[in-house]
Amino acid sequence: MMKTNFSIIKAVAIIAVVVYHSCTIPYVGRFLGLFMIPVFFICSGYFFHTKYLGDAWAFVVRRFKGLYKPFVVWSVFFLLIHNLLFPLGILSEEIGNSAGGVLHPYTWHAFSQRLWSVVFNMSGYEEFLSGTFWFFRALFLVSIAFLLLFKLSKKVFRKATDAQLAWGILALTIVLTSWKLFENLKMTSVAQGGYRELVGMAFMSIGFLFRQYEERLINLMSWKFSLVAALLLVVFTIFYPVSVTFNANFWQFLSLLLTGSLGFGLLYQAAAVLDARDGRFKNCVVYIGNHTLYIFAFHFAAFKLVSAIKVAAYGLPWHYVGSHPVVHEGSPWDGFWLLYTTVGIGLPLLVRHCWRQWTEGVSVDVENYAIKAFDVAPIYAAKALMFAKRGILSFSRSFVGFFSTLFDIIKASNPKEDD
DSSP, residue by residue, 344-381: HHHHHHHHHHHHHHHHHHHHHHHHHHHHHHHHHHHHHH
pLDDT band (50, 70, 90) for residue 405 = very low
3-state secondary structure of 222: coil
Q: Examine the pLDDT at 374 and tell me if it is beyond 50.
A: no
Q: Examine the pLDDT at 399 and tell me if it is beyond 90.
A: no
pLDDT band (50, 70, 90) for residue 413 = very low
Question: Torsions phi, psi of 221, nearest 5?
Answer: -75, 125
Which of 263, 291, 290 lies closest to 3, judged by CA?
290
pLDDT band (50, 70, 90) for residue 404 = low
**In sequence order, which residues have a C-beta less than 8 Å from that of residue 74 and are 6 or more positions away?**
130, 133, 297, 298
Written as one letter, the residue type at 135 is: F
Average pLDDT over residues 331-355: 95
**In sequence order, which residues have a C-beta less than 8 Å from that of residue 238 and are 6 or more positions away?**
27
Report the C-alpha gap between 37 and 139 in whole angstroms.
11
Model pLDDT, residue 403: 45
Q: Examine the pLDDT at 388 and tell me if it is beyond 70.
A: no
Model pLDDT, residue 356: 87
Q: Over the Cα atoms of the chain, what is R_g?
A: 31
pLDDT band (50, 70, 90) for residue 271 = very high
DSSP state string for 174-201: HHHHHHHHHHT---TTSGGGGHHHHHHH
3-state secondary structure of 72: helix
Model pLDDT, residue 283: 94
Written as one letter, the residue type at 353 is: H
Model pLDDT, residue 371: 46
Q: Examine the pLDDT at 270 and tell me if it is beyond 90.
A: yes
Model pLDDT, residue 368: 56
Report the C-alpha gap between 96 and 341 in whole angstroms.
20
Average pLDDT over residues 415-419: 44
Model pLDDT, residue 363: 54
Per DSSP, helices labelled H in 122-194 are 134-156, 162-183
Write the pLDDT tens digit of every residue in 201-237.
999 999 999 999 999 999 888 889 999 999 999 999 9
**In sequence order, which residues have a C-beta less than 8 Å from that of residue 65 and are 6 or more positions away?**
none
Write the pLDDT tens digit of every residue in 295-329.
999 999 999 999 999 999 999 999 999 999 999 99
**In sequence order, which residues have a C-beta less than 8 Å from that of residue 279 and are 6 or more positions away?**
none
